[in-house]
Copies of this chain bind each other. A is one copy, B any other.
Amino acid sequence: MTVKLTEQEVSDALKNLKGWELREGKLCTKLEFENFISAFGFMARVAMRAEKIDHHPEWSNVYKTVNIALTTHDSGGLTAKDLALAEAIKQELEH
C-alpha cells in the first residue's frame, strides 16, 4: 500500500498543479477542449499513461469537457501515485 501524503505534502504539491484543487479529499481538475475529438484524444493518451503506471483516474466526459478526480482507493487518500498521474496529465496537456 502506498503511504498517504501529509496535509503539508498535498499543500506543497498543489502549488505546482495549476488548475487543480482539492475536493472531498480528491485532486480534481476540469478541462475544456476544442471539441470531442480533442477531449477524447487527450483521454486516450492519458489512459495509456495511467495503465502504464498502473494508477487510473476517476473521470467523466461530456462532449468537449473532461472532469478528473484522483485518489488512491487502497490507501484511502492521496499518495505519490496521484501526483505522478497528475504530472502525466499535465505533460499530455502541454503536447
Residues of A within 8 A of B (CB): 36-37, 40, 43-44, 47, 50-51, 56, 58-63
Q: Which residues of B contact A44 (CB under 8 A)?
A: 40, 44, 47
- Give A61's nearest chain B residue, CB to CB: B59
Chain copies in the assembled complex: 2
Q: Which residues of B contact A63 (CB under 8 A)?
A: 56
Q: Which residues of B contact A60 (CB under 8 A)?
A: 58-61
The 5 sampled A-B contact pairs (Cβ below 8 Å) are A36-B51, A36-B56, A37-B51, A56-B62, A60-B60
- Give A36's nearest chain B residue, CB to CB: B56
Do A47 and B40 touch (CB < 8 A)? yes
CA distance A59 to B61 in the complex (A): 6
- Give A64's nearest chain B residue, CB to CB: B56
Do B62 and A58 touch (CB < 8 A)? yes
- Give A60's nearest chain B residue, CB to CB: B60
User: Smallest distance from the beta carbon of A61 to chain B beta carbons, Å?
Assistant: 6
